[in-house]
């Protein structure tokens, strides 16, 4: 039974093709101005990578900020549930998932079945999100993907006092103009962001092991290390690209729906292809 999960977020679109317990293929790309077009494109590339045709996929479940724009999805499910489901399947021992994406951050607690039991998220302020790092990278005239490695060269990390992105940017520029070294500034930014995320984790009652991190920011080794220090735990890394976790969870929901219901009420132009029943 071949199913698919799509996670269309604020910055990237991700697709995972699943056959039973095996991930056949995946694809990740930037979201353009029209999420519905990104959904079609990322799905097409994932299907092609699996050596399949669209008609071979029995069911598609969408998630993420743009899930309502996935016109061919048979169902949509919140990213909270999908991240919990995906992480639990990939790492059965995990009980706490920290997902940091482009526009929000989430702390999720799951039980042994992957069911979400508590969660908290920040989507009102860019502090603690990928957008925070993006703004700082632009201010420092760096590539965001280089920030992690640069931070490890710090010898005397600075302390960032402002949590607001606008004021933090001004503070960072002032520090650089005053002679602070770039690695020290980036390390200070990572620590400030990690502390912000750590305080959010307290909103679900604190850390329950094991802990993993999902989302694009998990690829930043500097943030990953700073967050481990802030939480006081050694996190379990994902063997799969952490940005794909939500799409994995969506695919698992698609598989579950096909097994338990034999069908998923569909809506969209590809309904006939994607909702075949079991």
Q: How far apart are CA 175 and CA 178, in angstroms?
A: 5
Residue 32 pLDDT? 75
Percentage of the chain with pLDDT > 70? 93
What DSSP state is assigned to residue 164? S
What is the distance, to the nearest Å, from the Cα of residue 109 to the centroid of all Cα atoms in its chain? 15
Which tens digits make up the pLDDT trace of 143-161? 999 999 999 999 999 999 8
pLDDT of residue 271: 39
Which fold would CATH assign to domain 92-237? Nucleotidyltransferase; domain 5 (3.30.420)
pLDDT band, very low/low/confident/very high, at 124 (cuts 50, 70, 90): low
Query: Judging by beta carbons within 10 Å of its beta carbon (0-12, 13-18, 19+), is residue 7 exposed, middle or buried?
Result: buried
The confidence band for 272, taking pLDDT boundaries of 50, 70 and 90, is very low
Segment among 8-17, 118-127, 167-176, 269-278 with least mean pLDDT: 269-278
For residue 185, give the nearest of 169, 198, 196 by alpha carbon: 169
Strand partners for 28: 14
CATH number, domain 1-91+244-278: 3.30.420.40
Break the chain into its structural domains and give their ranges.
1-91+244-278, 92-237
Whether 197 has a pLDDT exceeding 50, the answer reads yes
Mean pLDDT of the chain: 90
Strand (E) or helix (H) holding 147: helix 147-151
Q: What is the pTM of this model?
A: 0.89
Phi, psi for residue 189 in degrees, rounded to 5: -65, -45
**Per-residue DSSP letter, 146:** G
* pLDDT-wise least confident of 26-35, 45-54, 148-157: 26-35
């Amino acid at each position: 039974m071949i199913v698919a999960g799509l996670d269309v977020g604020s910055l990237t679109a991700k697709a995972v093709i699943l056959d039973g317990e095996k991930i056949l293929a995946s694809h990740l790309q930037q979201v353009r101005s029209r999420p519905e077009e990104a959904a079609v494109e990322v799905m097409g590339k994932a299907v092609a990578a699996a050596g399949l045709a669209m008609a071979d996929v029995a069911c598609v479940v969408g998630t993420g900020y743009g899930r309502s724009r996935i016109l061919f999805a048979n169902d949509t499910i919140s990213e909270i549930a999908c991240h919990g489901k995906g992480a639990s399947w990939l790492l059965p021992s995990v009980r706490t998932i920290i997902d940091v994406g482009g526009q929000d951050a989430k702390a999720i607690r799951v039980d042994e079945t992957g069911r979400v039991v508590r969660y908290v998220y920040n989507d009102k302020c860019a502090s603690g999100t990928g957008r925070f790092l993006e703004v700082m990278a632009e201010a420092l005239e760096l590539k965001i993907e280089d920030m992690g490695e640069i931070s490890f060269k710090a010898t005397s990390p600075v302390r960032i006092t402002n949590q607001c992105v606008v004021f933090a940017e001004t503070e960072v520029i002032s520090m650089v103009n005053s002679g602070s070294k770039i690695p020290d500034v980036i390390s200070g930014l990572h620590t400030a962001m990690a502390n912000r995320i750590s305080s959010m984790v307290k909103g679900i009652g604190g850390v329950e092991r094991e802990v993993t991190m999902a989302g694009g920011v998990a690829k930043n080794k500097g943030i990953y290390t700073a967050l481990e220090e802030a939480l006081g735990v050694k996190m379990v890394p994902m063997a799969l690209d952490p940005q794909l976790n939500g799409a994995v969870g969506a695919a698992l929901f698609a598989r579950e729906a096909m097994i338990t219901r034999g069908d998923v009420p569909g809506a969209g132009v590809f309904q006939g292809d994607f909702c075949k029943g079991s």
